[in-house]
Amino acid sequence: MNRKFKHGMSMALAVLSAMFMNTACTEDWNDHYDDNGTNASRTSILDIVKGDADLSNFSAVVEALGCADSLLNQSRVYTLWAPVNEYVNKDSLLAEIEKGNRDKVLNRFVESHIANFKYAASDSMKADNYMLLLNEKMVPFCGNYSDGYTFDGMAVVEKNIPAFNGIVHKIGGTVTYALNLWEYLENAEGADSVAKFLYSFNVSKFDEWASIEGPTVQGNKTYLDSVFSNSNQWFFTYGDKYTAGIGNVSMEDSSYMFVVPANEVWTEWTEKAEKYYNLYLDEKLGEAEKFRTDSLRWFYARKSILNYSLFSKRDQTPVHKLAWAVDNDGDGLRDDSILSTYSVKRRLFSKEDVLAGTREGVECSNGTFYVKDVFNYSPFYTWHDTIKVEAEYPRYQGNEKNKDNFVTSGTDPNVVYVSESQMHDSLVAQGAKLSSNQYVEVAPLASTGNPKLIFTIPETLSSTYNVKIVFVPPHIASPRANPADSEPNKVKLILRATGDNGKQAKLVEVKNIQNDPTRIDTVFIPDAEDPSKPMKIKFPFTEYGFADNLLNASLEITSDVARNDKGFTRVLRIDCIILEPVAEDEE
């Protein structure tokens, strides 16, 4: 028969079968297990449970689960903390099994009292002596010979009962099953929208190794028990920004804050986020293409909200030690800062901001669960990121889709590395910073030539940006140079992106853009009516998630120095290109 189990269930049947197997096992198998290297006991755990009147309720539940006879040849050793009758609500548990909740009883009741390996109560065991149970929960097993021993705070009323396949302790109580964050989400009040979304990514996979092989029938392998294990892509933190999850909220050895938006907030903010993922739809391609674009918009919007919903309680490394972390507040890790788990771009948040508008937290086995009624994160901290194109990175040089070469009428690009100690004193005095300590330099092929560079721009959303270019002065690494002798650039800029026909279209073209050659100068594409302000440039379609060879968004930078122009350099020195998102109320 086929059975589907939650994470960690794949071991459960093997455990119960091995524990409660009858004594008809072979002599060789029995000889393999003992108390301390000798075959001191010929009694199985099943014999102990069945033969002890104090454990009859527990025995009845295990028998009703129907797994004792299917795995007779398992060779494992276990510890059972068996609850005595007065603490086992047999009728209630049997009723749950009858209602079809067998796996729930197995996982939350039986597995809560079993651990792999043999753990005796001996000497003094400290309070932090935690046992990893079969359902991956962790509970303390502690005490001493004089005062007695406890298991999850319950008295061990009889200890160290030996069996050839492990050891049994009788306890005065039952372990209270503590939901982890993932389990609690399933029925969290007011958060079922998030639960429905995340649980939709559950994948059940046949586990051949954990399944119990049966006889071969007409050349085909059969199984007495088919075991399935579950996984979810949101548990995996590796991958790129399109596939990486937030962290394994089902892991029992972790400690998190899980802050999920309430249903109304989820609806409001996912609708708002979807506008930023407006993909071009070629209607000639039919319903399949419409479904694809709608699905991507739906997924990207929801992922962007949840990327920053999980925070580690343990990993709170100071921000100056996390070169890859983003400090939203700009003032380093304060006492009230918390670090997100999203590995693609980990961010520091103010704990006060994160918990603002949340309901009272619920303590789970691996952290605290919060439902948030007010989504007060800025889109700039979630989906509407600043885009930085490092000029020296080959992946951004040229436009593969439109067969645009990176350099036209110029020398091969020269990537120049400049450390802070090599930087000109005047720039150091200004507090100048060179992104990644590198820039790209291209000179004209002839003295009157004007080189042209084309940079591909990834990840643009269907939103508004200010576009900026960072120019590097000629004297950056020439300590004896006089900054006053440095000449500015004069360039023409053409910004392109996906247009209304799905093809590359020109968004903006501006001329006579000049930089200040005495500094590392950030120059913006100016507003047509007020050149002192940056132009707010609307990208009609997103190119988020596009492969590099499919991108339309690009910036063309061309030296625009005429023959009779004096006092300009034709050498292009570019540090990076920055697309700075514009707030929605400013668009």
Other C-beta atoms closer than 10 Å to the C-beta of 176 total 11
pLDDT on residue 321: 41
Residue 398 lies in a domain: yes
Q: Which domain holds residue 56?
A: 2-177
Residue 53 lies in a domain: yes
Q: Are residues 18 and 39 in the same domain?
A: yes
Picking from 382, 400, 427, the residue at the C-terminal end of a domain is 382
Q: pLDDT tens across 235-282, in order?
A: 876 666 666 778 888 888 888 999 999 999 999 999 999 999 999 998
Residue 439 lies in a domain: yes
Q: Are residues 491 and 513 in the same domain?
A: yes
Q: Are residues 173 and 186 in the same domain?
A: no
Q: Are residues 172 and 186 in the same domain?
A: no
Burial of 172 (0-12, 13-18, 19+ CB in 10 A): middle
Q: What is the CATH number of the domain that holds 64?
A: 2.30.180.10
Mean pLDDT rounded to a whole number for the chain: 84
CA distance linking residue 83 with residue 73, whole number of Å: 26
Q: Are residues 155 and 187 in the same domain?
A: no
pLDDT on residue 210: 61
Residue type for 71, please? L
Q: Are residues 144 and 244 in the same domain?
A: no
CA distance linking residue 3 with residue 206, whole number of Å: 10
Contacts of range 297-303, beta carbons closer than 8 Å, 24 or more positions apart: 298/274, 300/242, 300/273, 300/383, 300/544, 300/545, 301/270, 301/273, 301/274, 301/276, 301/277, 301/383, 302/197, 302/270, 302/273
The structural domain count of the chain equals 3
Q: Are residues 503 and 437 in the same domain?
A: yes
Residue 405 lies in a domain: yes
Residue 215 lies in a domain: no
pLDDT on residue 353: 86
pLDDT on residue 345: 74
pLDDT on residue 586: 60
Q: Are residues 139 and 260 in the same domain?
A: no
Q: pLDDT tens across 40-83, in order?
A: 457 888 888 889 999 999 999 988 987 654 432 355 788 999 99
Residue 211 lies in a domain: no
Residue 407 lies in a domain: yes
Q: Are residues 158 and 82 in the same domain?
A: yes
Q: Are residues 327 and 463 in the same domain?
A: no
Other C-beta atoms closer than 10 Å to the C-beta of 53 total 8
Q: Are residues 151 and 197 in the same domain?
A: no
Are 44 and 21 in contact by the 8 Å Cβ rule? The answer is yes
pLDDT on residue 165: 83
pLDDT < 50 positions in the chain: 1-40, 69-73, 318-334
Picking from 382, 410, 428, the residue at the C-terminal end of a domain is 382
Residue 281 lies in a domain: yes
Picking from 331, 359, 382, the residue at the C-terminal end of a domain is 382
Q: Are residues 186 and 172 in the same domain?
A: no
